[in-house]
A and B are shown apart, each in its own frame.
Chain A
Amino acid sequence: MKYAYYPGCTLRASYPHVDMSLKSVFRVLGVELVEIDDWNCCGSTAVENISEAVSLALSARNICLAAKISDTMLTPCTECLLQQRRVLYIMEQYPKVREKVLKVLEKVGLEWKPVKVVHPLEIVVNDIGLDKVKEKVKRDLSGIKVVPYYGCLITRPYGSEHPLYPTSMDELFSALKAEVIDYPLKTKCCGATLTATGDERGLSLVYQLLKDAKRRGGNVIVVPCTVCQFNLEVFQDKISTMYGENVSIPVLYFTQLLGLALGLSESELGIDKLLVPFSISAR
C-alpha cells in the first residue's frame, strides 16, 4: 500500500508528535508513505473566507502533485482534509467553478487529476482492517479506559461514517482490548480557532468535553484531529482555574495510543512531547 503523504504546515511546526507517531505506526503496519513533492498550504478556513477561487486553486495544486505519486492521498490534519475533499466535491458538482479552476491550473502548467483523499484512521480501519492490526499487537490496552473523541471534520460534511455518531475509533480501541467509554459528546465541536483568544467562547466548549470525559471515568482521550488534540490538551490549566475544577486528562492523537499497543517506544510516538503526561505502564 502506497499513499501520497500530505503533512501540511501545522504538522511540521506544531505537531511533531502526530507526524512521528503516524510514520512509526504505518511502518509497523506495512504502509508506505511518500511525501508529496513541494506541497503548498491548503489555505484552511482563512483563505476560504477571503477568496473561494484561491482556496480551491491551492488544494487543487496539491491534488495534482499527489496524483504523480499515488491515486490515494493521506492527510492527517482534518482542516487540510476538509479543503481537499471540498475541492473534489466542487469540481464534480459545479461545472462553472470547475472551468474556472481548470483555467487557473492550466496557466501554471498543471493538469487536474483527482485522487481519493483519506485520513489515517480510515486507512487503519478500512484499508488495513482490524484483524490485521490485531495480529501486530505486542501489548494490549486492557485496563485503560479510553474516551474516543472524533471532533467535527473527520465526519462532517464529507466523511464516510455517521456524521454525529461515528464508531471507527471505538471499534479500533475495543479490538486493542481497551475499555472504550461511551461518549455522547464525541462529535461536539472543540471551538477550533476560537480558543486562540483564550476567552469563554472557545474554552467553554473544551471545558464541557473534558468534564464529561472525566465524569465518565476516562483515563485518556484519543482524537483523530490535530486541532482537537491541541485544544483539549494545552488549555487544561487555564480551564481548571477558570471553572474552579480539575479537568486534567491526557489527550493523545490516536496513532500514539495505537503505537503503544504495537510495541513502539514512547519516544518513537512523541508521547514525551505531551504537556499532560501519559504512561501505559502506570495503569
Chain B
Amino acid sequence: MGKVKFESEVDRSFTEEILSEPGGEAILKCIQCGTCSSTCPLSHFMDYTPRQIIYMVREGFKKEVLSSRTLWICASCFSCVVQCPSGIKIADVMHIIKRKAMAEGVYPKDEFLPKLYKSFYESVKASGRINETNVVRKASLGKALGMLGLGLKLRGKGRLSLAEESVKDVSQVRKLIEEAEKA
C-alpha cells in the first residue's frame, strides 16, 4: 500500500465527496475482510486490490486512488457488490472514482479504457447512437490493426458493420445530454 501519510497530507474532502454520491455512502462500514479482493477475478492484475482502494478512499489518499491502474482493470462484474458483508457497492465506488479520474485527466496514459470511454461519449453526443467498431478504431489509433484478421472474418459473417446510425430526433438527444451535463 502507499506510504504512510501525516494527517496534513491526506485529503478528507475526497472521502466526503465519495460518501455523498449514490453507491458511495456505505464505505465507512468496511471491515477490511477482503471478500471483494478474493472474489474479484482481476485483482491479481491490479496495483491496489479493491479492499485497499476502499481503505485508501476512506483515509483520503486521493492522488494514489485517482491514478491507480485498478480503476481500468475492474470489469464491473459486480461479484464484490453481491458478496460484501457490509453492503458496500464496491463496483459503484469504482465508477464514482473513475468519473473523478476522467474529469481530472489523471489516469495512466497507456491505459486503453479512458480513451475508449471518451470516443464512445463523443459518438453518443454526435448522433445518439454508437457503432462499436468505429468507437474502438478511433480510440486505439491504428493499434487495432492487430485485430484486422479477426475483423475481416467477422465482416465475412455479417457481424461487423461500419455503418453509423443516428436517432431521428438528434436535437432532442443533444439537448438531453447538454441539460444533463449542466445538472
- A interface vs B, CB < 8 Å? 9-10, 12-17, 38-41, 43-54, 56-58, 61, 90, 93-94, 97, 100-101, 103-105, 107-109, 152-153, 156-157, 163-164, 187-189, 191-194, 196-198, 200-202, 205, 234-235, 238, 272-275
Contact = CB atoms under 8 A, between A and B. Distances in A.
Given A13-B132, A14-B160, A108-B175, A47 B124 contact: yes
A50 B125 CA distance: 12
Interface stretch (B10-18, B49-57, B60-68, B109-117): B109-117
Contacts, number: 180
Contacts of A14: 132-133, 154, 159-161
Given A9-B132, A103-B183, A16 B124 contact: no
22 contacts: A9-B132, A13-B160, A14-B161, A40-B124, A40-B128, A41-B123, A41-B124, A48-B95, A49-B117, A51-B181, A52-B22, A54-B181, A103-B183, A104-B176, A156-B82, A157-B78, A157-B81, A188-B41, A192-B75, A196-B116, A197-B143, A273-B159
Nearest to A208: B41
B176 A58 contact: yes
B38 interface: no
Contacts of B163: 13
A152 B179 contact: no
Given A52-B95, A54-B177, A198-B146, 9 more contacts: A16-B159, A52-B99, A104-B180, A157-B82, A198-B147, A234-B154, A273-B157, A273-B159, A275-B154
A56 B180 contact: yes
Contact of B117 (A46, A52, A53): A46
Contact of A51 (B91, B99, B157): B99
Interface of B: 21-22, 41-42, 45, 73, 75-79, 81-83, 89, 91, 95, 98-99, 102, 112-113, 116-118, 120-121, 123-124, 128-133, 136, 140, 143, 146-147, 150, 153-154, 157-163, 165, 167-169, 172-173, 175-177, 179-181, 183
Contacts of A202: 75
A200 B41 CA distance: 13
A229 to B, nearest CB: 10
A150 to B, nearest CB: 12
Greatest chain A CB density within 10 A among B113, B158, B168, B179 is at: B179
B22 A153 contact: no
Given A12-B161, A40-B167, A164-B82, A50 B132 contact: no
B75 A41 contact: no
B41 A94 contact: no
